[in-house]
Amino acid sequence: MIKKTIIIAEAGVNHNGKIDLAKKLIEKAKSAGADYIKFQLYNADELVTESARKAKYQMNSLKKNETQKKMLKQYQLNELQIIKLFKYAKKNKIKFMLSVFDQESLNILKNIKLDFIKMPSGEINNFQLLKKVSKLNRNIIFSTGMSTLSEIKKTYGFFKKNKKIKKIFVLHCNSSYPTPDGDVNIEVLSQFKKIFNSNIGYSDHSIGNEAAIVAVALGAKIIEKHLTLNKKMSGPDHSSSSNPIEFKNLVNSIRKTEKFYNSKKKIVTKSEKENLPLVRKSIVAKKKILKGETFSEENLTIKRPGMGISPNFWNKIINKKSKYDFFKDDLIKV
Protein backbone atom coordinates (compact mmCIF):
# COMPACT_ATOMS: atom_id res chain seq x y z
CA MET A 1 0.00 0.00 0.00
CA ILE A 2 1.36 3.42 -0.99
CA LYS A 3 1.68 5.80 1.97
CA LYS A 4 1.21 9.39 0.92
CA THR A 5 3.90 11.87 1.89
CA ILE A 6 2.58 15.10 3.44
CA ILE A 7 3.80 17.99 1.27
CA ILE A 8 3.87 21.44 2.84
CA ALA A 9 4.17 24.57 0.73
CA GLU A 10 5.95 27.03 3.01
CA ALA A 11 4.64 30.48 2.14
CA GLY A 12 6.61 31.91 5.04
CA VAL A 13 6.94 35.65 4.46
CA ASN A 14 6.87 35.36 0.67
CA HIS A 15 3.56 37.24 0.69
CA ASN A 16 5.58 40.40 1.46
CA GLY A 17 2.94 41.41 3.99
CA LYS A 18 0.21 41.68 1.36
CA ILE A 19 -2.97 39.66 1.77
CA ASP A 20 -3.61 39.46 -1.99
CA LEU A 21 -0.18 37.89 -2.56
CA ALA A 22 -0.80 35.50 0.33
CA LYS A 23 -4.05 34.39 -1.33
CA LYS A 24 -2.23 33.83 -4.62
CA LEU A 25 0.28 31.64 -2.79
CA ILE A 26 -2.61 29.58 -1.45
CA GLU A 27 -3.99 29.17 -4.98
CA LYS A 28 -0.60 28.20 -6.40
CA ALA A 29 0.07 25.72 -3.60
CA LYS A 30 -3.26 24.06 -4.29
CA SER A 31 -2.75 23.90 -8.06
CA ALA A 32 0.75 22.48 -7.53
CA GLY A 33 -0.70 19.63 -5.48
CA ALA A 34 0.55 20.55 -2.00
CA ASP A 35 -1.33 19.12 0.97
CA TYR A 36 -0.77 22.16 3.19
CA ILE A 37 0.00 25.85 2.83
CA LYS A 38 1.96 27.23 5.78
CA PHE A 39 2.40 30.79 6.97
CA GLN A 40 4.46 32.27 9.81
CA LEU A 41 2.71 33.58 12.91
CA TYR A 42 4.71 36.07 14.93
CA ASN A 43 4.71 39.43 16.64
CA ALA A 44 7.96 41.20 15.74
CA ASP A 45 7.90 43.14 19.04
CA GLU A 46 7.95 39.83 20.92
CA LEU A 47 10.24 37.98 18.53
CA VAL A 48 13.33 40.15 18.16
CA THR A 49 15.17 43.04 19.81
CA GLU A 50 15.41 46.51 18.28
CA SER A 51 19.08 46.14 17.37
CA ALA A 52 19.28 42.52 16.15
CA ARG A 53 21.08 42.27 12.80
CA LYS A 54 19.60 40.50 9.82
CA ALA A 55 21.06 37.16 8.77
CA LYS A 56 23.37 37.22 5.77
CA TYR A 57 20.75 35.70 3.45
CA GLN A 58 18.25 38.41 4.51
CA MET A 59 20.51 41.19 3.28
CA ASN A 60 19.99 43.11 0.08
CA SER A 61 21.76 46.11 -1.39
CA LEU A 62 18.81 48.48 -0.90
CA LYS A 63 18.21 47.79 2.79
CA LYS A 64 21.59 46.61 3.99
CA ASN A 65 21.46 48.56 7.27
CA GLU A 66 17.87 47.64 8.07
CA THR A 67 17.41 45.78 11.38
CA GLN A 68 15.86 42.34 11.55
CA LYS A 69 12.90 43.75 13.48
CA LYS A 70 12.16 46.44 10.91
CA MET A 71 12.29 43.85 8.15
CA LEU A 72 9.98 41.41 9.98
CA LYS A 73 7.47 44.14 10.77
CA GLN A 74 6.80 44.49 7.04
CA TYR A 75 5.80 40.84 6.75
CA GLN A 76 3.86 40.42 9.98
CA LEU A 77 0.29 39.13 9.60
CA ASN A 78 -2.32 40.13 12.17
CA GLU A 79 -5.07 37.94 13.59
CA LEU A 80 -7.71 39.13 11.13
CA GLN A 81 -5.43 38.42 8.17
CA ILE A 82 -4.56 34.98 9.48
CA ILE A 83 -8.23 34.08 9.88
CA LYS A 84 -8.99 35.37 6.38
CA LEU A 85 -6.20 33.21 4.95
CA PHE A 86 -7.37 30.20 6.95
CA LYS A 87 -10.86 30.58 5.45
CA TYR A 88 -9.45 31.19 1.97
CA ALA A 89 -7.39 28.01 2.19
CA LYS A 90 -10.49 26.09 3.24
CA LYS A 91 -12.38 27.57 0.28
CA ASN A 92 -9.58 26.41 -2.03
CA LYS A 93 -9.59 22.95 -0.40
CA ILE A 94 -6.02 23.00 0.85
CA LYS A 95 -5.12 22.47 4.50
CA PHE A 96 -3.71 25.33 6.55
CA MET A 97 -0.71 25.34 8.86
CA LEU A 98 1.15 27.92 10.93
CA SER A 99 4.64 28.21 12.38
CA VAL A 100 4.54 30.01 15.72
CA PHE A 101 7.45 32.10 17.01
CA ASP A 102 6.31 33.75 20.25
CA GLN A 103 3.94 33.29 23.19
CA GLU A 104 1.64 36.18 22.33
CA SER A 105 0.91 34.68 18.91
CA LEU A 106 -0.33 31.49 20.54
CA ASN A 107 -3.55 33.30 21.46
CA ILE A 108 -4.42 33.44 17.77
CA LEU A 109 -3.76 29.72 17.40
CA LYS A 110 -6.28 28.90 20.11
CA ASN A 111 -9.07 30.17 17.86
CA ILE A 112 -8.04 28.20 14.76
CA LYS A 113 -8.42 24.45 14.44
CA LEU A 114 -5.30 23.06 12.77
CA ASP A 115 -4.05 19.49 12.22
CA PHE A 116 -0.55 20.48 13.32
CA ILE A 117 1.36 23.30 14.97
CA LYS A 118 4.76 23.80 13.38
CA MET A 119 7.69 24.80 15.58
CA PRO A 120 10.53 26.44 13.64
CA SER A 121 14.18 25.53 14.17
CA GLY A 122 14.98 28.66 16.16
CA GLU A 123 12.52 27.72 18.91
CA ILE A 124 13.83 24.20 19.59
CA ASN A 125 15.30 25.23 22.96
CA ASN A 126 12.68 27.86 23.85
CA PHE A 127 10.94 25.78 26.49
CA GLN A 128 8.90 28.70 27.79
CA LEU A 129 7.18 28.75 24.41
CA LEU A 130 7.21 24.96 24.00
CA LYS A 131 5.42 24.54 27.34
CA LYS A 132 2.56 26.77 26.22
CA VAL A 133 2.38 25.03 22.85
CA SER A 134 2.25 21.65 24.56
CA LYS A 135 -0.73 22.74 26.67
CA LEU A 136 -2.79 23.20 23.50
CA ASN A 137 -2.65 19.39 23.03
CA ARG A 138 -2.18 19.72 19.26
CA ASN A 139 -0.13 17.49 16.97
CA ILE A 140 3.41 18.84 16.59
CA ILE A 141 5.92 19.19 13.79
CA PHE A 142 9.29 20.68 14.69
CA SER A 143 12.33 21.50 12.57
CA THR A 144 15.86 20.83 13.75
CA GLY A 145 18.11 23.30 11.92
CA MET A 146 21.18 24.51 13.86
CA SER A 147 20.62 21.88 16.58
CA THR A 148 22.49 18.93 18.03
CA LEU A 149 21.04 15.44 18.38
CA SER A 150 20.89 15.82 22.17
CA GLU A 151 18.84 19.02 21.79
CA ILE A 152 16.48 17.29 19.36
CA LYS A 153 15.99 14.33 21.71
CA LYS A 154 15.28 16.68 24.60
CA THR A 155 12.58 18.55 22.68
CA TYR A 156 11.06 15.33 21.32
CA GLY A 157 11.02 13.84 24.81
CA PHE A 158 9.39 16.97 26.19
CA PHE A 159 6.46 16.76 23.76
CA LYS A 160 6.30 12.98 24.16
CA LYS A 161 5.49 13.37 27.86
CA ASN A 162 2.15 14.89 26.93
CA LYS A 163 0.05 11.82 26.10
CA LYS A 164 -2.64 14.02 24.56
CA ILE A 165 -0.28 14.91 21.71
CA LYS A 166 -0.92 12.02 19.32
CA LYS A 167 1.59 12.83 16.57
CA ILE A 168 5.06 14.34 16.82
CA PHE A 169 7.12 14.68 13.66
CA VAL A 170 10.82 15.57 13.65
CA LEU A 171 12.03 17.34 10.51
CA HIS A 172 15.66 17.30 9.47
CA CYS A 173 16.59 20.81 8.39
CA ASN A 174 19.56 22.99 7.57
CA SER A 175 18.96 26.66 8.42
CA SER A 176 21.02 28.12 5.62
CA TYR A 177 19.17 29.80 2.73
CA PRO A 178 19.91 28.29 0.32
CA THR A 179 21.60 25.23 1.84
CA PRO A 180 24.89 24.30 0.11
CA ASP A 181 24.71 20.77 -1.33
CA GLY A 182 27.54 19.63 0.94
CA ASP A 183 25.60 20.70 4.03
CA VAL A 184 22.32 18.93 3.25
CA ASN A 185 23.39 15.81 5.21
CA ILE A 186 20.28 13.93 4.13
CA GLU A 187 21.58 10.62 5.53
CA VAL A 188 20.72 12.02 8.99
CA LEU A 189 17.18 10.82 8.24
CA SER A 190 18.35 7.21 8.56
CA GLN A 191 19.44 7.97 12.11
CA PHE A 192 16.23 9.88 12.84
CA LYS A 193 14.15 6.96 11.58
CA LYS A 194 15.64 4.63 14.18
CA ILE A 195 15.36 7.11 17.05
CA PHE A 196 11.96 8.66 16.37
CA ASN A 197 9.99 5.63 15.17
CA SER A 198 9.75 6.73 11.54
CA ASN A 199 7.93 9.97 12.47
CA ILE A 200 10.37 12.00 10.41
CA GLY A 201 10.44 14.52 7.63
CA TYR A 202 12.59 17.05 5.83
CA SER A 203 12.36 20.83 5.64
CA ASP A 204 14.27 21.57 2.45
CA HIS A 205 16.15 24.81 1.87
CA SER A 206 18.41 23.49 -0.88
CA ILE A 207 18.20 24.46 -4.53
CA GLY A 208 16.43 21.88 -6.70
CA ASN A 209 14.28 18.89 -5.82
CA GLU A 210 16.89 16.17 -5.50
CA ALA A 211 17.34 16.37 -1.71
CA ALA A 212 13.60 16.15 -1.08
CA ILE A 213 13.28 13.11 -3.36
CA VAL A 214 16.13 11.34 -1.57
CA ALA A 215 14.47 12.24 1.74
CA VAL A 216 11.27 10.48 0.66
CA ALA A 217 13.34 7.45 -0.36
CA LEU A 218 14.91 7.46 3.12
CA GLY A 219 11.52 7.42 4.81
CA ALA A 220 10.49 11.07 5.20
CA LYS A 221 6.75 11.28 5.88
CA ILE A 222 6.70 15.08 5.50
CA ILE A 223 8.39 17.34 2.97
CA GLU A 224 8.36 21.09 3.43
CA LYS A 225 9.70 23.59 0.90
CA HIS A 226 9.35 27.34 0.38
CA LEU A 227 7.03 28.54 -2.37
CA THR A 228 7.22 31.93 -4.06
CA LEU A 229 5.26 33.54 -6.86
CA ASN A 230 8.47 34.87 -8.37
CA LYS A 231 12.10 34.30 -7.32
CA LYS A 232 12.99 37.87 -8.31
CA MET A 233 10.58 39.52 -5.89
CA SER A 234 12.00 41.67 -3.10
CA GLY A 235 12.24 39.81 0.20
CA PRO A 236 14.55 37.53 2.21
CA ASP A 237 13.33 34.11 1.04
CA HIS A 238 12.21 34.48 -2.59
CA SER A 239 15.50 33.64 -4.30
CA SER A 240 15.93 30.35 -2.40
CA SER A 241 12.27 29.29 -2.81
CA SER A 242 10.60 27.23 -5.53
CA ASN A 243 8.39 28.98 -8.04
CA PRO A 244 4.98 27.40 -8.81
CA ILE A 245 6.28 25.32 -11.73
CA GLU A 246 9.24 24.01 -9.72
CA PHE A 247 6.98 23.20 -6.80
CA LYS A 248 4.56 21.30 -9.02
CA ASN A 249 7.50 19.32 -10.41
CA LEU A 250 8.52 18.52 -6.83
CA VAL A 251 5.04 17.24 -5.98
CA ASN A 252 4.92 15.12 -9.14
CA SER A 253 8.36 13.66 -8.42
CA ILE A 254 7.40 12.79 -4.84
CA ARG A 255 4.18 11.13 -5.94
CA LYS A 256 6.13 9.11 -8.50
CA THR A 257 8.76 8.16 -5.91
CA GLU A 258 6.03 6.90 -3.58
CA LYS A 259 4.97 4.39 -6.23
CA PHE A 260 8.45 2.86 -6.13
CA TYR A 261 7.68 1.77 -2.55
CA ASN A 262 4.42 -0.04 -3.23
CA SER A 263 5.53 -3.37 -1.73
CA LYS A 264 8.32 -4.73 0.45
CA LYS A 265 7.77 -8.23 -0.93
CA LYS A 266 9.73 -9.51 -3.93
CA ILE A 267 7.03 -10.70 -6.28
CA VAL A 268 6.45 -11.11 -9.99
CA THR A 269 4.43 -8.00 -10.71
CA LYS A 270 1.45 -7.76 -13.02
CA SER A 271 3.46 -5.79 -15.57
CA GLU A 272 6.21 -8.45 -15.57
CA LYS A 273 3.97 -11.47 -16.02
CA GLU A 274 3.28 -10.86 -19.69
CA ASN A 275 7.03 -10.72 -20.37
CA LEU A 276 7.94 -13.76 -18.32
CA PRO A 277 7.26 -16.45 -20.98
CA LEU A 278 8.97 -14.35 -23.65
CA VAL A 279 12.16 -13.65 -21.69
CA ARG A 280 12.57 -16.92 -19.78
CA LYS A 281 13.88 -19.97 -21.67
CA SER A 282 12.88 -23.56 -22.35
CA ILE A 283 14.66 -26.77 -23.28
CA VAL A 284 14.63 -27.04 -27.07
CA ALA A 285 16.09 -29.24 -29.80
CA LYS A 286 19.57 -28.20 -30.83
CA LYS A 287 19.12 -30.20 -34.04
CA LYS A 288 16.76 -32.79 -35.49
CA ILE A 289 15.94 -35.51 -32.95
CA LEU A 290 14.26 -38.78 -33.92
CA LYS A 291 11.79 -40.72 -31.81
CA GLY A 292 13.69 -43.15 -29.53
CA GLU A 293 16.87 -41.09 -29.62
CA THR A 294 18.49 -40.33 -26.25
CA PHE A 295 18.43 -36.71 -25.09
CA SER A 296 21.94 -35.32 -24.52
CA GLU A 297 23.96 -32.15 -24.53
CA GLU A 298 24.63 -32.86 -28.17
CA ASN A 299 21.01 -32.55 -29.25
CA LEU A 300 19.46 -30.28 -26.61
CA THR A 301 19.97 -26.58 -25.79
CA ILE A 302 18.19 -23.78 -23.91
CA LYS A 303 16.49 -20.91 -25.73
CA ARG A 304 13.62 -18.47 -25.49
CA PRO A 305 10.62 -18.51 -25.19
CA GLY A 306 9.81 -19.96 -21.80
CA MET A 307 6.67 -21.77 -22.91
CA GLY A 308 8.11 -25.26 -22.73
CA ILE A 309 9.99 -27.31 -20.15
CA SER A 310 11.98 -25.09 -17.76
CA PRO A 311 15.80 -25.34 -17.70
CA ASN A 312 15.28 -26.31 -14.04
CA PHE A 313 14.46 -29.82 -15.31
CA TRP A 314 17.55 -30.21 -17.53
CA ASN A 315 19.08 -33.01 -15.46
CA LYS A 316 15.79 -34.91 -15.49
CA ILE A 317 15.52 -34.69 -19.29
CA ILE A 318 19.11 -35.67 -20.10
CA ASN A 319 19.47 -39.43 -20.86
CA LYS A 320 15.73 -39.91 -21.36
CA LYS A 321 14.57 -41.34 -24.68
CA SER A 322 12.58 -39.10 -26.96
CA LYS A 323 8.93 -40.11 -27.49
CA TYR A 324 8.60 -37.85 -30.53
CA ASP A 325 10.43 -36.51 -33.55
CA PHE A 326 11.72 -32.94 -33.12
CA PHE A 327 13.10 -30.42 -35.54
CA LYS A 328 15.67 -27.79 -34.59
CA ASP A 329 14.29 -25.21 -32.12
CA ASP A 330 11.20 -27.29 -31.31
CA LEU A 331 10.14 -27.12 -27.66
CA ILE A 332 10.91 -30.45 -26.03
CA LYS A 333 8.03 -32.39 -24.53
CA VAL A 334 8.17 -35.72 -22.74
Query: What total of structural domains would you count in the chain?
Result: 2
- Residue 112 and residue 67: Cα distance in Å, rounded? 31
The reply to whether 176 and 278 lie within a common domain is no
Q: Note whether 250 and 293 are same-domain residues.
A: no
* Buried/exposed 66-103: b ≥16 CB within 10 Å, e otherwise: ebbbebbeebbbeeebbeebbebbeeeebbbbbbbbbe
Per-residue pLDDT tens over the stretch 203-225: 999 999 999 999 999 999 999 99
Average pLDDT of span 129-140: 96
The CA distances from residue 90 to 94, 186, 225, 247, 276, in Å, are 6, 33, 20, 20, 49
pLDDT band at 1 (very low <50, low <70, confident <90, very high): very low
Shared domain for 291 and 248, answered yes or no, is no
Q: Backbone dihedral region of 323: left (phi > 0), alpha (psi from -120 to 50 degrees) or beta? A: alpha
> pLDDT tens digit string along 47-98?
999 888 867 666 653 466 788 898 899 999 999 999 999 999 999 999 999 9
Tell me, what's the pLDDT at 56? 66
The model's pLDDT over 289-332, given as tens digits with 9 standing for 90+, comes to 999 999 999 999 999 999 999 999 999 999 999 999 999 999 99
- What b/e readout covers 156-178, taking b as 16+ CB neighbours within 10 angstroms? beebeebeebeebbbbbbbbbbb
- Show the domain range for 31: 6-259
Residues 214 and 187 in one domain: yes
Same domain for 187 and 218, yes or no, is: yes
Domain of 190, CATH number, reads 3.20.20.70
Q: Domain check: are 98 and 174 in the same one?
A: yes
Cβ neighbours of residue 242 closer than 8 Å, sequence gap 6 or more: 209, 225, 226, 227, 228, 250
In a domain, 185, yes or no: yes
Q: Is there a single domain that holds both residue 207 and residue 146?
A: yes
Q: Could you tell me if 201 and 83 lie in one domain? A: yes
